[in-house]
Chain A
Amino acid sequence: MNGSAASSRSASAILTLPRRLAAFRTEGFPLIPIAILMTVMLVALFANVIAPHNPEVGVLGDRFRPPAWQASGTIDHLLGTDHLGRDVLSRLIFGARISVIVGLTVVIVAGCLGTALGIISGYLGRWVDQIIMRITDAWLALPVLTFAIFLAAIVGPSVSNIIVILAAVYWTRYARITRGEVLSVRERDFVRLAVVAGCSKWTIMRRHILPNVINSAIVLATLQLGQAIIAEATLSFLGVGVPPPQPAWGLMLADGKKGLMAGYWWLTVLPGSCIMLMVLSANLLGDWLRVKFDPQLRQL
């Protein structure tokens, strides 16, 4: 026992860096997911610098070109071209921008709205609580996807509409969870002291309650990021999301269906892999945050 401990200590003296990385791994620090998310954000931010071609304009003579490593592929189109001869790599790069914008905005808008309503509902109580929670419950009972499709179908496809629609269906869970936490926080001594000290209800909610419930909202937001991205891809795939010719990953999958039976795999495999990588990373990060911040949130 002692011998093995001593030998591992001496090994750690030599292999400091790998040991440190291993320590990160044992704590479950999601290094790879964070790296992937950061990369996607950077790609989204600098899309117009990185992308080799215009994502919305193609050369019809170059349509359905396979990736560079296949027989008829060219270096010019590293990941091939689609049914209109547009460069797949450039579309993937600009697609990251839409996924990041939609995902983050939805989660932030829904999170702010839901958390605010949850705090108001939980702190003010009585009829305010009754009204907000009845609406939340009724809203929670609706089929999210079909309802979003319905909304998208009547207001028409556009990036801003998608954001409003998804935020409108995702705020409810924040409201439910925040309210539950506020109910216990408001009975704590520091809140009572603030009441005695003459703070207004608004100040108490903002300065004393909010900082104590924000962790759960952040965890939920991270876990919902993936859902929002999948929802956007789904709406775009069905033709009620991001309008063509914009390069969204879901839209690329819808276009890719045209070449599926001919075996043009790159049009289906690549955009889907991007969605999966990003959602997987967000889920892993969310799982880690959940355990880190609050083990009580396991059932989220």
Chain B
Amino acid sequence: MKKYIVKRLGLALISLLLLSITIFLLMRITGDPAVLLAEPGASAADLDAIRQQFGLDRPLWTQYVSFLTHLLRGDFGQSFYYRTDVFELYLSRLPASLLLASAAMAFSLLVGIPTGIIAAVRVNQWWDSGGKIFALLGLSMPSFWVGLLMILFFSVYLGWLPSSGSGTVFHLVMPAISLGWLFAAVHMRLTRSSMLDVLGSEYVKLARLKGLPEALVISKHAFKNALIPVLTLAGINLVIMVNVAVVVETVFAWPGVGRLLYEGIAFRDFPVVQATVLLGGVMIVVVNLLVDILYAVIDPRIRYEG
């Protein structure tokens, strides 16, 4: 067990190292990093000052070491636009992102799990087909387009919901649905297949042989076991949601980290862009690591395979 965790930890560190190296190298290969790090319209003297400050005249590997030590200290630089520490800026935007992701997750689970179960219990009936169409649409429509359509319908035509901003529950409805639909589709498909697996298992057959009513078999015996993989995936997806919310947050002017990334690109605020991508990567790597360890705790076979 200890050996397995150490190994996974090592892999996660390699991932993070690779991420930092890629970002570091790309900045230097694709042009003059001083131009990226300087404010738009900086003078030649300013650029020189930045080269001095970041040691861009030194050899590449010493530059990387200082880049990495800055990151490890939580020093991601200053935002040009907001004139504050980028890391603090990121942390100040994170709660809004988590709120949106939680709402989208709640929507995706409330829709995905029941439809998945009904689809599995009534295979190849109209409900199953309906669920398939719902899932296919969720996988085929860009989330930001769903958002735009909802704005058009519920804000412009009907005037029911606010088209942008945050603050009330009403502001949360449309962003949560447009972000959550894709995930509802994913959770529905997984619930359906997991439920089908469980319904074919021996203990469900036994429960049926005992003469339990079908509703009880499904709700007590099958449901709980079918839910384990879905909830695990939901945990990973919550973090992924924070990172893919950038377009939805842009459409609805939701003040989360995705919107921060968009602003960073729009204002050419490079430190903000770099920090958002790096921290997003760290979050995903850490969650993947936690899930791997959790799986190993639940299922001992995994410890010996990997």
Q: Which residue of B lies closest to A230 (CB)?
A: B142
A5 part of interface (Cβ distance < 8 Å)? no
A141-B284, A239-B266 given as contacts; is B277 within 8 A of A146 (CB)? yes
- Secondary structure type dominating chain B contacts: helix
Q: Chain B contacts of A32 at CB under 8 A?
A: none
Find A138's partner among B14, B23, B277 (CB 8 Å cutoff). B14
Q: Which of B19, B243, B273 contacts A145 (CB 8 A)?
A: B243
CB distance from B250 to the nearest CB of A (A): 7
Contact residue among A137, A145, A237, A238 (Cβ-Cβ distance under 8 Å from B11): A137
User: Contact at A261–B156, with CB atoms within 8 Å?
Assistant: yes
The verdict on A128 contacting chain B, using a C-beta distance below 8 Å, is no
Contact A260 B156 (CB under 8 A): yes
Asked whether, in the complex, the Cβ of A150 is within 8 Å of the Cβ of B144, the reply is: no
Q: Does A120 contact B (CB under 8 A)?
A: no
Whether A260 contacts B142 by the Cβ 8 Å rule is no
Check: A233 CB closer than 8 A to any chain B CB. Answer: yes
Cβ of A21 within 8 Å of any chain B Cβ, yes or no, is no
Q: Which of A246-300 contact B (CB under 8 A)?
A: 250, 253, 256-257, 260-261, 263, 265, 268-269, 272, 275-276, 279-280, 283-284, 298
Distance from B17 Cβ to chain A, minimum over Cβ atoms (Å): 8
B36 touches A146 (CB 8 A): no
B265 contact from A137, A141, A238, A279, Cβ within 8 A? A238
Which one of A150, A234, A284, A298 lies within 8 Å of B273 (CB-CB)?
A150
Chain A residues lying within 8 Å of B273, measured Cβ to Cβ, are 149-150, 153
Query: Which residues of chain A are within 8 angstroms of B157 by Cβ–Cβ distance?
Result: 263
CA distance A93 to B268 in the complex (A): 32
B195 to chain A, nearest CB (A): 15
* A contact residues around B177 at 8 Å (CB): none
A151 at interface by CB-CB < 8 Å: yes
Cβ of A155 under 8 Å from chain B: yes
Interface residues on chain B, number (Cβ under 8 Å): 52
Given contact pairs A134-B14, A234-B142, A238-B265, A272 touches B148 in the complex (Cβ within 8 A): yes
Q: A263-B157, A275-B145 are in contact. Are A154 and B26 (CB under 8 A)?
A: yes
Enumerate B228-246 residues with CB–CB distance to A below 8 Å.
Answer: 240, 243-244, 246
Q: How far is the CA of A134 from the CA of B152 in the complex (A)?
A: 46
Identify which of B62-70, B99-107, B132-140 touches chain A: B132-140
Give A residues with C-beta under 8 Å from B.
134-135, 137-139, 141-143, 145-147, 149-151, 153-155, 226, 230, 233-234, 237-240, 250, 253, 256-257, 260-261, 263, 265, 268-269, 272, 275-276, 279-280, 283-284, 298
Ranked 4 nearest A-B pairs via Cβ: A272-B145, A280-B140, A138-B15, A150-B277
